Amino acid sequence: MTDARLPDSAPARRWSWTDPALRSAVIQVSLAILLIWMAWSFFANAQANLARQGIASGFGFLDNSAGFGITQTLIPYSESMSYGRAFLVGLLNTLLVAVLGIILATVIGFLVGVARLSENVVIRALASAYVEVTRNLPPLFQILFWYLAVLATMPNPRQGWAFGLQPLLQSLANGAASIGLSPLADGLRSLAGDVSGPGVFLSNRGLVVPRPVFEADFNIIFGVLVVGIIAAWIVKRWAHVRREKTGQPFPTFWVGLALVLGPAIIAGFVLGWPMTFEKPELRGFNFAGGVRIIPEFVALLVALSVYTAGFIAEIVRAGILAVSKGQTEAAKSLGMRSGPTMRLIIIPQAMRVIVPPLTSQYLNLTKNSTLGVAVGYPDLFAVFAGTTLNQTGQAIEIIAMTMAVYLTISILTSMLMGWYNKRVALVER
């Protein structure tokens, strides 16, 4: 540490242990070599031992036919397809429940978190009770609760509750006619004609709804919808810039909604709604046709969202409390009402505190989705690390692939949230 060299004489690099940069480079390179060697010998050893024990290895099994059925498949699948295909089916099921769960949990969490700070005692108490109950019951218990307790109250398909889509459309049409919107009423009436008989069934087999079948002309309506979305986005940017400049508010939400839906609805009436409904029908034991949402999915989705929302609510509450009181007071003194104060002043600042812990809740939710195997939800863990592993016995390959998938999902989520966090970070001026 006693370096007597003159400050301006550039030190000549010597091979010496006293050079910290060189020393750390040597140590790091040796550590890396050691790690690679360990990983390699781990792998080679495992390979040799597997061969000696007569256990199959390698990834060839992915092409073999799976042989088992899967209840919920977002892509076409049958037993005669491969384990690789089953892997994809499981992966999509995991992503479906994770993405929808994250959205739902965020919505519930924000509502409850804000409610915990409400001036209203009843709302505050309800929100507190929600947080205490959901956070303190293990997620597996909650999944089983939603599945078994709620499922048990549902009737079987024959006695299932049938909801008529037709009567609903009919009464909507009458309503529209009575306030003078006769084109809308006509459209609704013709829709109602398409869906004769009850179209929606709720039973212990899940929720069955008619499947919309779009004709070619419907693409025009989709096109109009997309244009509307773009227009709404442009208006939002414009309103934002204008507010920054002049401070004038603009009803972005309502104008945006009108821009998105209005033209599409008009186009729909002009084209006479070129679509039909494939109605589910009770045939034997189950429903044929239509779209069915299985109870396993609903139970898992609701349980994961409700559970995670309890944690998110606390994060949101802490985030809001972290914004200094002066902000609220300043907004009040400018005459802002409490709603806009929350939306425009408090929440944007609270986001900086909220986003990092929110990310880890999202990751938890994704990982907890593996508990779905308890209620027979065919996620990646159940289909691949469960059934496929059991049938092929190739634990090393399958667990490695499964871990890689969950790791990738986690890293992508973190990256996305990191990017968002940068956007909401306080811009110091």
Partner 1 sequence: MSRTFKHFLLAAGMLAMGASAAGAATLDDVKARSALNCGVSQGLPGFSNPDDKGNWAGLDVDFCRAIAAAIFNDPTKVKFSPLSAKDRFTALQSGAIDVLSRNTTWTMSRDTTLGFNFAGVMYYDGQGFMVRKSLNLKSVSDLNGASICVQTGTTNELNVGDYFRTNNLKYELIAFATIDETIKAYDSGRCDAFTADQSQLYAVRLKLTNAADHVVLQQVISKEPLGPLVRQGDDQWFDLVKWTYFAMLDAEELGVNSKNVDQMGSTANPEIKRLLGTDGKFGEAIGISNDWVARIVKHVGNYGEVFDRNLGPATPLAINRGQNNLWNNGGLQYGMPVR
What one-character-per-residue DSSP string does 92-109 give?
HHHHHHHHHHHHHHHHHH
355's tokens: 């986003």
Name the segment binding partner 1 (CB under 8 A); options: 90-98, 240-248, 283-291, 306-314. 283-291
Distances (CA, A) of 128 to 115, 156, 308, 319, 416: 9, 36, 15, 16, 30
What tokens does 70 get?
């899967």
269 vs 277: CA distance, rounded Å = 17
Q: Does 404 bind partner 1 (CB under 8 A)?
A: no
Give the distance, in angstroms, between the CA of residue 66 and the centroid of all CA atoms in the same chain: 28
Taking the least distance from each CB to partner 1, the nearer of 64 and 120 is: 64
Q: Which of 171, 174, 286, 408 binds partner 1 (CB under 8 A)?
A: 286
Q: 293 by DSSP, 3-state: which? A: strand
Question: What is the CB neighbour count within 10 angstroms for residue 241?
Answer: 10
Give the 3-state secondary structure of residue 16: coil
Q: How far is the CB of 337 from partner 1 (least distance, A)?
A: 48
3-state SS, residue 355 = helix
Binder of partner 1 out of 82, 252, 391, 414 (CB under 8 A): 391
Q: Give the pair of three-digit tokens for residue 260.
A: 């998105």
Instruction: Kindly tell me which of 296 and 314 has the beta carbon lying closer to partner 1.
Output: 296
From candidates 393, 404, 408, 425, binder to partner 1 by CB under 8 A: 393
What is the 8-class DSSP label of residue 383?
I
Shortest Å distance, C-beta 83 to partner 1: 12
Complex with partner 1: residue 41 or 219, whichever CB lies closer: 41
Token pair 């968002």: residue: 420
Which three-class secondary structure state does DSSP give residue 162? strand
Structure-block tokens of residue 202: 């709720």
C-alpha 194/C-alpha 210 separation (Å) is 11
Neighbours of 30 (CB within 10 A): 10
Minimum CB distance to partner 1, residue 386 (Å): 5
Q: Which of 32, 288, 330, 411 binds partner 1 (CB under 8 A)?
A: 288
Least distance (Å) between residue 202 CB and partner 1: 13
Question: Judged by CB under 8 A, does residue 23 bind partner 1?
Answer: no
Q: Which two tokens stand for residue 175?
A: 């309503």
124-183: contacts with partner 1 (CB under 8 A) = 144, 147-148, 151-152, 154, 156
Query: x/- contact string, 37-66, with partner 1 (CB under 8 A)?
Result: ----xxx-xx--xx-xxxxx----------
Q: Residue 140: exposed, middle, or buried by beta-carbon count in 10 A (0-12, 13-18, 19+)?
A: middle
In whole angstroms, the minimum distance from the beta carbon of 378 to partner 1 comes to: 7
- At its nearest, how many Å lie between partner 1 and the CB of residue 36? 15
If the CB atoms of residues 65 and 120 are measured against partner 1, the closer one turns out to be: 65
How many residues line the site for partner 1 (CB under 8 A)?
A: 56
Closest approach of partner 1 to the CB of residue 66, in Å? 9
Position among 93, 361, 387, 413 found at the interface with partner 1 (CB under 8 A): 387
User: What character string, x for contact with partner 1 (CB under 8 A) and - otherwise, covers 337-366?
Assistant: ------------------------------
> Taking a C-beta distance cutoff of 8 angstroms, is the pair 258, 235 a contact?
no
Examine residue 18 and tell whether it contacts partner 1 (CB under 8 A). no
Please select the residue that binds partner 1; options are 30, 390, 408, 416, rule is CB under 8 A. 390
What would the x/- binding string for partner 1 be over residues 292 to 311, using CB under 8 A? ---xx---------------
Strands annotated E in 210-349: 211-214, 275-278, 281-283, 286-288, 291-293
List the one residue from 235, 353, 374, 424 that touches partner 1 (CB under 8 A). 374
What is the distance between the alpha carbons of residues 346 and 351, in angstroms, rounded to a whole number? Answer: 9
Interaction between residue 76 and partner 1 (CB under 8 A):
no
| CB burial readout 202-233, b (16+ within 10 A) else e | bbebbbbbbeeeeeeebeebeebbeebeeebe
- Residue where the block lists tokens 């009108």: 258
Task: Give min distance, CB of 419 to partner 1, in A.
Answer: 30
Binding residue for partner 1 (CB under 8 A) from 23, 25, 33, 68? 68
Q: CB nearer to partner 1: give 315 or 385.
A: 385
SS3 (DSSP) at 33: helix
Binding site for partner 1 (CB under 8 A): 41-43, 45-46, 49-50, 52-56, 67-71, 78-80, 144, 147-148, 151-152, 154, 156, 204-205, 283-286, 288, 295-296, 370-371, 373-376, 378, 381-382, 385-387, 389-393, 395-396, 399
